Amino acid sequence: MENVTIPQHSVIQYVRNRKNIPHGVLVAIKTDEGFSIGYSLCNKKDRFNKRMALKIALGRAEWSGDPEERVPDPLPHPVRKIIPLFWERCKKYYKVTQ
């Protein structure tokens, strides 16, 4: 599998289960408007692959099309649970005052 190029000034946080085993990732990248967030969550039947998860999350964060097509509605529960703290962390990191 090819290497994943992570943009400079990215924020990465892994989604972990109760046993602290990673099974997903949240990624924020800098944009002209501030920042954009993407995520990837592994199916219960699959084995977590860090590079593949980063590639999917970065693809969602870099999406330039319709935002409604980028992220399924509703977000998966493990992502929805940690996204408010991740959002605040990114606002501080990118110095966004919204």
Strand, coil or helix: 20: coil
For position 44, what pLDDT does the model report?
86
What pLDDT, on the 0 to 100 scale, is given for residue 5?
A: 86
Query: Residue 59 is encoded by which pair of tokens?
Result: 């693809």
pLDDT above 80 for 82: yes
98 is a domain residue:
no
Is residue 15 helix, strand or coil?
strand
Question: What values do phi and psi take at 38, rounded to 5?
Answer: -130, 160
Range of the domain at 67: 11-93
Give a yes or no: residue 71 inside a domain.
Answer: yes
What is the pLDDT confidence band of residue 74, given thresholds at 50, 70 and 90?
confident
Q: Kindly indicate the confidence band of residue 96, based on its pLDDT and cuts at 50, 70 and 90.
A: confident
Asked whether residue 45 is assigned to any structural domain, the reply reads yes
When computed from its CA atoms, the radius of gyration of the chain, rounded to whole angstroms, is 13
Number of domains in the chain: 1
Answer yes or no: is 4 within a domain. Answer: no
34-73 pLDDT tens trace: 899 999 999 888 999 999 999 999 998 987 666 555 555 6
Does residue 6 lie in a domain region?
no
Per-residue pLDDT, averaged over 18-37, amounts to 92
* pLDDT (0 to 100) of residue 6: 87
Q: Do the domain assignments include residue 81?
A: yes
The answer as to whether 64 is a domain residue is yes
Mean pLDDT estimate for the chain:
87
